[in-house]
Amino acid sequence: MTDIHIRIDGRAGRITLTRPEAMNALTWEMCLAIERALDAWRADQAVDLIVIDAAPGRAFCAGGDIVEMHRAGVEGRYDYGQRFWRDEYRMNAKLFHFPKPVVTFLHGFTMGGGVGVGCHASHRIVDDTSQIAMPECAIGLVPDVGGTLLLARAPGRLGEYLGTTGARMGPGDAIHAGFADLYVPNDWPALIDALCETGDATLADAAGQTPPGSEMARMQADIDTLFAGETLGDIARAVDGARTPAAEAARSALTRNAPLSMACTVEMLHRLGDDPTIEAALSLEYRFTHRALELADFVEGIRAQIIDRDRSPRWRHTGPTAVPAVDVARMLAPLPKGTPQPEIAQ
């Protein structure tokens, strides 16, 4: 497969995303190929660890390849997205639970589906180019691929802030928020060669340097206050009434992004609570994504951002204070009995 290069190199299983012209966006086949590699290497005594990186360019992985998703939604083929997400989430869970070290090199943009591949690893490496985000609310989806687990584990109310606004994290922010572990600003090829030669993941730990400061850490107390509300409406009203750095950073995003998606994101993080699991996160995410093509703003969001690029989506709700609780409940209700579910048990 030309979109992904999977091989064994020394003591390491190597996965390299090779679609730089598409910012290494994940296709369905790439998800399935990663899963097959995880299954093959899980008990392979020749593989001590996994290294995941991407071809040089602007992104480790800027998300999923969603043009076909738009076509399926317009044509009413809702099962297309449902089957894709079931397969992707199963891969995400296997990566999270992989019994050997997984070292990921997150250069450039790591967003959406890229977070699902890069940020469930045991050793997540960033550099000065790294920009990590969960921007799904901008296209009418919700943070998924296990992203709600990371958001729920983030300090204070940072998860609500990142999930609703899609704010980008530089290397210091990503480490503060729990999306990355190690700042290694130079010579990744030499480190990868050493990992492959030795199979020793502690070499990644030893390479880590003091990360840059985190603007989000500096805004933490402000974010905790503004995003403490029970609902999106509570948060929007708090942000609208404040003139602090965090409020200024959040205000335009809360006005711009899909209200239903943001409201459901807040509710999902609250339901996951203080001790979330990857299984709970993916199951809750799938309740939304299973319905997304038919009942949410996802098709319209892709149209506005990717297809027509007019940046003028016509959302189902007029703003963040106009989403009834019943609409959130409908998107996050348990799926009907007999509905195929992602196979995400440990």
At 232-272, the pLDDT tens digits run 999 999 999 999 999 999 999 999 999 999 999 999 999 99
Residue 344: which pLDDT band, with cuts at 50, 70 and 90? confident
Q: What is the mean pLDDT of residues 320-332?
A: 98
Residue type present at position 261: S
Q: CATH fold of 4-332, please?
A: 2-enoyl-CoA Hydratase; Chain A, domain 1 (3.90.226)
Q: What is the DSSP letter of 11?
A: T
- Say which residue the tokens 């969603």 belong to: 66
Run of H or E residues at 31: helix 28-41
Q: With H, G, I as helix, E, B as strand and everything else as coil, classify residue 203.
A: helix
b/e per residue, 210-233, with b = 16+ CB within 10 A? ebeebbbbebbebbbbbbebebbb
Give the angle subtended at the CA of 136 by the CAs of 174 and 104, to the nearest 5°: 40
- The β-bridge relationship of strands 109-111 and 131-133 is parallel
Q: Phi/psi at 178 (nearest 5 deg)?
A: 90, 15
Q: What is the DSSP letter of 343?
A: -
**How far is Cα 156 from Cα 50, in angstroms, rounded to an integer?**
32
Identify any residues that bridge with 50 across adjacent strands, giving them in sequence order.
13, 102
The ranges assigned to domains in the chain are 4-332
277-291 per-position pLDDT tens digit:
999 999 999 999 999
- The β-bridge relationship of strands 4-9 and 12-17 is antiparallel
Q: Residue 145's closest CA among 169, 109, 119? A: 119
Residue 343: which pLDDT band, with cuts at 50, 70 and 90? confident
Q: What is the DSSP letter of 131?
A: E
**How far is Cα 215 from Cα 209, in angstroms, rounded to an integer?**
18
State if pTM tops 0.95: yes
- The β-bridge relationship of strands 4-9 and 109-111 is unpaired
